[in-house]
Amino acid sequence: MSPAYEPVIGLEVHAELQTQSKMFCTCRVIDPTDAEPNTAVCPVCAGMPGTLPVVNRMAVEFALRVALALECTINETSVFARKNYFYPDLPKGYQITQYEQPLAEHGRLIIHTSTGERTIRVRRVHLEEDTGKLTHMSGATAVAMAEGSPDNTERPYTLVDLNRAGVPLLEIVSEPDMHSIEEARVYAEGLREILRYVEVNSGDMEKGVIRFEANVSVRPVGELELGKRVEIKNLNSFRALERATAFEIERQSKVLSDGGHVDQETLGWDDIKEQTYSQRSKEEAHDYRYFPEPDLPPLVVDPAWIDRVRLGLPELPHAKYKRFVSEYGLTEYAASRLVESRRVADYFEQAAGSDSVSARSLANWIVGELFALANLAG
Ligand code: ADP
Ligand code: MG
Ligand code: ZN
């Protein structure tokens, strides 16, 4: 009989902070689906030499909301760093991010799965800037789009759109605390709920405003030491997150049970073939030549500001869920479905306020018939 393996999963979640303007300049943050390419770009986010970044105060406030909702400790002083690498979507040749001193650390998210309640630790929450968007296409498509001007139909072309370059991005890194695909999915969904509750992100996955990277390893059941992990980049949907993680758990378990070893590497996910593929061997921090960003002072958030943000937070999904179960006697299932969205939860409470209906049957009607109708109506 082959030994059983336990999966170990840690997630890195990137969420755009949907502020009015970008992280370090006054360009607008625009909906990628309704703007012409390269219309929200200035010398700062286009990486022109001699320009200087200025931190967007509202982006810091949005980041604080999320970090506090995740019960993190806020570092009153955090430091921006340069992460150096070349790619056509990164005009400066480096990304401004936070490295050794992030904005927040040591948080947690409580999740509910089919096996009960679990706490997933959040290692860090830090601020950075998004990159531009590349669109790869065949020469034939490019020729058709440009009405004949690229003359080589054989060669592939890549279009560069810098509207997204410099949009504030929050990175939320978990500890390797998840041990099933379900836990990874529920954690990712829980983060999306929180981002929407505190009104920093629309949660529109199909627009790419939340993206996942999954770190996956397996180890023999009972083993305490972590196995060698892979990192799967650019997972843009819950479905991709689940499929890619499942694929890796199976692949790595087979490698180990055949007596092989797992290589530590960075993988991509092919949505069509439904398999991971090797992108590169795992990069190390020193490959990026991180150093403190000389154009920005340390970021200092004063305790009064942190307190103000904390007091302004709404009731969060987990607390609301607990209250719905105890106050209205709802089933755990109905309560968890109702709190997925703040608007639905508010709607339920308003309707439950009239004594003519029982809260329980109201909840069942909403998560049953009403949700079914809403789905049908798109
Ligand atoms: P890096 O910055 O190189 O990506 P980190 O040590 O910061 O590496 O870890 C990134 C993510 O990988 C975290 O979410 C962490 O929980 C997860 N992780 C680390 N080791 C493992 C492992 N052996 N198996 C699964 N996930 C892991
Ligand atoms: Mg990583
Ligand atoms: Zn700009």
Atom of ligand 1 nearest to the CA of 174: 14
Nearest protein CA to atom 24 of ligand 1, as residue: 217
Q: Is 173 in the pocket of ligand 1 (CB under 6 A)?
A: yes
Phi, then psi, of 15 in degrees rounded to 5: -125, 130
Nearest CA to ligand 1 atom 19: 176
The whole-number pLDDT of residue 1 equals: 44
Count of beta carbons in the 10 Å neighbourhood of residue 307: 11
- DSSP letter string, 78-94: E-EEEEE---TT-TTSE
Q: What is the pLDDT of residue 48?
A: 96
pLDDT on residue 157: 86
Report strand pairing: 265-270 vs 230-235. Answer: parallel
Contact 205, 193 (CB under 8 A): no
Average per-residue pLDDT in the chain?
Answer: 93
How far apart, in whole angstroms, are the C-alpha atoms of residue 292 and residue 79?
7
Q: Give 286's contacts (C-beta < 8 A, 6+ positions apart).
A: none
pLDDT number for residue 141: 78
Distance 231 CA to ligand 2 centre (A): 7
Q: What span, in angstroms and rounded, lies between the C-alpha atoms of 294 and 279?
A: 32
Q: Identify the pLDDT of residue 3.
A: 56
Which of 11, 100, 173 should be mutated for ligand 1, with most atoms under 8 A from CB? 173
CB-ligand 1 contact for 175 (6 Å cutoff): yes
226 lines ligand 1 (CB under 6 A): yes
**Residue 27 CA: which ligand is closest?**
3
- Nearest-CA residue for ligand 1 atom 6 is 175
Q: In this predicted structure, what is the pLDDT of residue 148?
A: 56
Q: Whats the size of the chain, residue-wise?
A: 378
User: Strands 133-137, 116-129: parallel, antiparallel or unpaired by DSSP?
Assistant: unpaired
Over its length of 378 residues, how does the chain's per-residue pLDDT go in tens digits?
A: 445 999 999 999 999 999 999 999 999 999 877 789 999 999 999 999 999 999 999 999 999 999 999 999 999 999 999 999 999 999 999 999 999 999 999 999 999 999 999 999 999 999 999 999 999 888 777 777 766 565 666 778 899 999 999 999 999 999 999 999 999 999 999 999 999 999 999 999 999 999 999 999 999 999 999 999 999 998 999 999 999 999 999 999 999 999 999 999 999 999 999 999 998 777 777 889 999 999 999 999 999 999 999 999 999 999 999 999 999 999 999 999 999 999 999 999 999 987 667 999 999 999 999 999 999 998
User: What pLDDT is recorded for position 368?
Assistant: 96
- Residue 207: other Cβ atoms inside 10 A: 13
Query: How many angstroms separate the alpha carbon of residue 317 from the centre of ligand 3?
Result: 35
Answer for the pair 214, 244: CB distance below 8 angstroms, yes or no: yes
Q: Is residue 174 within 6 Å of ligand 1 at its C-beta?
A: yes
For residue 12, how far is its CA from the centre of ligand 2 (angstroms)? 7
Cα 329 to ligand 1 centroid, rounded to whole Å: 40
Q: Quick one: pLDDT at residue 270?
A: 93
